[in-house]
Amino acid sequence: MNSFSDFYKQTKYKVAGNGPRNIQVLKEALVKWDGQEDGDHYGKGKIIDEFQEKMAKYLGKEAAVFFPSGTMTQQIALRIWCDELRIKKVAYHPLSHLEIHEEDGLKELHHIETILLADKDRVIQLEDVVGLEEEIACLLLELPQREIGGQLPAYETLEAISAYCKEKGIKLHLDGARLFEILPFYEKSAVEICALFDSVYVSLYKGIGGIAGAILAGNTEFTEKSKVWKRRHGGDLISLYPYILSADYYFDKRVDKMNQYYLCAKELAEYYNQCHAVSTLPLKPVSNMFHVYFDAPKEVVEATLTEIYLETGIGLTSYLRVGNNVTTNYEVSIGDLYGQIPKEALRKAFQLLDEKMKDKLKII
C-alpha cells in the first residue's frame, strides 16, 4: 500500500523545495570541474580559502570559516563568547535549534547555561532583552524564527536590540540559517543585517540548496578561535570540498532568486488562506517559508491531500504533523520547483482543496 509520502512523490509538480536531495545534486555541482584541482587539506587550500573569502565579503565580516554543520558553528560561536566574557550563560528563543534539535550539545559539551527568552509562539522583542535579570555572554537571534513558521521582528527592533547589546557588552550572534531568504523582506543587504551582529552563521543547504555545510563569520580573532574549536569538535576534516564546491555552485545559482521565492511564498500562502479551515503562519510570509495549519484531524487532512495529489498531480507536502487539539500542520519552503507549476493547475488545486475541506468537515 502506498503511504502518504509515496503519493506525494508520485505527483508531477511539487510546490516546495528545489527538487529531490539525490546524488544528482552533487554531480551537477561537479560538472564544471575537470578533476585535476587539489582538494582542500585540513582547512587550507585554494578551494576553501576562496569560498571563505567570498562569504566573508558577502556577509561584510572580516573573515569566514567553512564548517560541516550549523550545529557545530553555533555551539562554537557561543562557547567563544562565553569564554571571552567569562560568563557561561547565553539567551535565545525557546524554540531555538540549539534548544530542541541538538540533543543538548551546548550543555553536554560546553556546559553553557541557557535562558529562554520570550513566549515560544512569538519572536524576541527588545523588552525581552532589556528585561533579562541575569548576566549573559551572548544573545542569539534566529532570523527568521523557523519553528513558528519563519517570523521576523521589525528591522528597527533588530537595530534597537543590537544597540542595547553593544551598550551592555552582550555579544549578539545571528542564527542566519535562512539569512539569504529574509533579505527581500527587510530590503537590506546581508552586509547591513550582519553589521548588527558580532558573529554570524549561515546555512548553505536550505534556500541555497547545497548538500551540507555552514559558514561562521566574524572578526579574525573570533574566526581563528573557531578553527581551534572546529578541530576539537572533529569538524576539521582532511577535505570538505564536496560540500564547499556544491555550496559555491548553488550559492551562485540561487542567491539572487530569494526575492522570487519570497513572492511565490506570499502567493502560495494566499491560496492556502482562501481555503476553508486552512491558514498559514505567518499569514503573510516574510521569507520563502511558512507553516500551514488545518483545523482538522490528521486523517482528514491526509485523505483530502491524497485526493488532491491524485486528481491534480500537484504535491503540497510529503508529511503531516499533529499540532495542539485537532490541528494538523506542516512546513513549506519555496525553491525552484514552484515556478514550474502551471498557474491554472495550481489555482484549481486550491479551489478543490477549499471545496473538499468544506465537504469533509460537514461530514464529521
Amino acid at 202: V
Task: Please report how the helices 220-233 and 70-85 are oriented relative to each other, as an axis angle in degrees rounded to 10.
Answer: 120
**Rounded CA separation 321/143 (Å):** 23
Between 72 and 258, CB nearer to a second copy: 72
SS3 92: strand
Q: Smallest distance, Å, CB 151 to a second copy?
A: 23
Between 99 and 128, CB nearer to a second copy: 99
> Cell 519572536 identifies what position?
123
Please choose, from the candidates 253, 245, 341, 353, the residue with its C-alpha nearest in 3D space to the C-alpha of residue 294.
Answer: 353
Q: Smallest distance, Å, CB 112 to a second copy?
A: 12
Q: Smallest distance, Å, CB 46 to a second copy?
A: 11
SS3 235: coil
**Rounded CA separation 318/329 (Å):** 11
- Give the binding site for a second copy (CB under 8 A): 20-28, 30, 33-39, 41, 67-73, 75, 102-105, 108-110, 205, 211-212, 228-229, 231-243, 245
Would you say how long the chain is, in residues?
364
Between 127 and 221, CB nearer to a second copy: 221
Q: Smallest distance, Å, CB 132 to a second copy?
A: 26
Between 170 and 240, CB nearer to a second copy: 240
Instruction: Give bridge partners of residue 139 from the DSSP assignment.
Output: 91, 172
Between 41 and 348, CB nearer to a second copy: 41
Q: Smallest distance, Å, CB 30 to a second copy?
A: 6
Between 92 and 350, CB nearer to a second copy: 92
**Rounded CA separation 357/354 (Å):** 5
Q: Smallest distance, Å, CB 227 to a second copy?
A: 9
